[in-house]
Amino acid sequence: MFENKKIFILGMARSGYHAARVLAKMNNEIVINDKNDKQDENHIKELQDLGVKTVLGSHPDDILDSSFDYLIKNPGVPFDHKYLKFCEVNNIKIINEIEMAYHLLPKGVKLVAITGTNGKTTTTTLTYEIVNEFFHGRTHLAGNIGFPLCEVIENIKENDYLVMEIGVPQLHDFYDFNPDIAVLTNIFEAHLDMFGTREYYNENKVRMFQNHTKDNIAIINRDNEDAYRITKDIKSTKKYFSSKKKIDGCYLKNNKIYYYNEEIIDTSLVKLQGVHNFENIMCAIMISKELGIPNDVIRSVVNDFSGVEHRIEYVRTLNGKDFYNDSKATNIKATQTAVSAFKKPTILILGGLERGQSFLDLKDYLGYTKLVVCFGECKNRIEAEMKDLNIKTIVVDTLKDAVNVSNKESESGDVILLSPASASWDQYKCFEDRGDEFKEIVKKL
């Protein structure tokens, strides 16, 4: 399928580089293009040595023509990009790196794919830790979690286990991708800058299950109205989890997690606290049980798991002030969850890419918030909306300014929380870079 073809890769970065590297070894003619010319020089040289044509710094009109068989796009490429329009007119198939690599997987690989607005990374990481504990040396981690599938595919062998985090921009370009177990953690308003409406966003989320039959497992949040509604007609064998009521599935009751009435976890013993995290744990339990992993292995890993980087991550205490990095909070719901975790005076750092989300939706969650410091592309709108809520607000230009102002305005006993409720792409390549910079700034105070 991907041999002796002419393939255009739009967007380099990590996934584009690895896709080009893999495809170039399969006797394909490859062109890779990125408007950003600041790419890893070693990667560029390696690709060029493999015969890949690299075009960086702009999107010329003459490098894409109707002779190409495929265009592989980076998930961040806007839907109205001129190259995508050209492909649609000229019947060039548009896919992404995951869809391509899926076709290269060895036989018998057990594929678990996790999507949702929030909780994806924690659920994916915890699931991987459990599966890897039991199937050690045969378990792989890939996807939206920072490891392109093409980066790890050469290490995957027949009958191995693959755990993937999938973002909705990736789902948009899936055609044949068909995970054995697919998880939908929840759905809230997000990515409206890309998808325009919540319904179109939801439609793309359900693409995870589009190739399912009754032989595939779908694990779904029963408490989340949109997740339950949009998956009603999928053909998967559906299994549900709930943090609100006892159901036929996995549920939380009296601080314990049950799987079909069998007690699995006492939540008082786990490091990962909060109802949102208990939901993540339930997803991981359900996946693990489907894979035949014993309860003692599940308990051991869950009880020791302390979370993942950039998710309400403790950074340091300085003069009695606690600093937390929640850079992964790229939407309003994630920030609602973060601020709800603290019951002490909080200075909240908000801002980033302008996506049109309403920060007024934070209204019922700011009871402990004494100050909002806003930065980034949407800072002025945040200021206006916080004033409508009678929340004291300070506007700054950069994250460093935000940290310095927060430190100055805070006192012993306060929490300083970076939970931006916005994507990072106005000033950073990714939320990880934003979170790393926040931690570096805080550590230098």
Q: Are residues 235 and 322 in the same domain?
A: no
Q: Are residues 152 and 288 in the same domain?
A: yes
Give CB contacts under 8 A, 24+ apart, made by 288-291.
288/127, 288/130, 288/131, 288/134, 289/259, 290/181, 290/217, 291/110, 291/112, 291/131, 291/134, 291/135, 291/161, 291/181
Of 257, 278, 304, at which residue does a domain stop? 304
> Based on the structure, what is the number of domains in the chain?
3
Partnered with residue 416 across adjacent β-strands are 323, 347
Q: Are residues 292 and 355 in the same domain?
A: no
Domain with residue 222: its CATH number is: 3.40.1190.10
Instruction: Specify if 341 maps to a domain.
Output: yes
Instruction: Specify if 254 maps to a domain.
Output: yes
Q: Are residues 357 and 392 in the same domain?
A: yes
H-run or E-run covering 251: strand 250-253
Sheet order of strands, 369-374 included: 313-318, 321-325, 415-418, 346-350, 369-374, 393-395
Is the CB of residue 22 less than 8 Å from the CB of residue 150?
A: yes
How high is the pLDDT of residue 190?
58
How high is the pLDDT of residue 75?
83
Q: Are residues 277 and 184 in the same domain?
A: yes
Instruction: Specify if 357 maps to a domain.
Output: yes
How high is the pLDDT of residue 204?
77
Domain with residue 320: its CATH number is: 3.90.190.20
Length of the chain: 445
Q: Are residues 157 and 290 in the same domain?
A: yes
Instruction: Specify if 365 maps to a domain.
Output: yes
Instruction: Specify if 88 maps to a domain.
Output: yes
Q: Are residues 75 and 154 in the same domain?
A: no
How high is the pLDDT of residue 356?
86
Q: Are residues 192 and 173 in the same domain?
A: yes
Instruction: Look up residue 268 and give its amino acid.
Output: S
Instruction: Specify if 1 maps to a domain.
Output: no
Q: Which residues in the chain show pLDDT less than 50?
A: none
Of 74, 97, 120, at which residue does a domain stop? 97
Q: Are residues 205 and 278 in the same domain?
A: yes
Q: Are residues 186 and 141 in the same domain?
A: yes
Instruction: Specify if 199 maps to a domain.
Output: yes
Is the CB of residue 114 less than 8 Å from the CB of residue 164?
A: yes
- Domain of 203 in residue numbering reads as 105-304
Partnered with residue 8 across adjacent β-strands are 31, 71
Of 63, 97, 131, at which residue does a domain stop? 97
SS (H, E, C) 333-352: HHHHHHHHCCCCCEEEEECC
**Contacts with 355 (C-beta within 8 Å, 6 or more apart), sequence order:** 191, 192, 193, 378, 422, 423
Instruction: Specify if 33 maps to a domain.
Output: yes
Nearest Cα neighbor of 249 from 335, 258, 339 is 258
- Burial class of 192 by CB neighbour count within 10 A (0 to 12, 13 to 18, 19+): middle
Q: Are residues 417 and 378 in the same domain?
A: yes
Q: Are residues 141 and 286 in the same domain?
A: yes
Q: Is the dihedral of CA 101, 103, 106, 108 positive or negative?
A: positive
Domain with residue 62: its CATH number is: 3.40.50.720
pTM of the complete model: 0.80
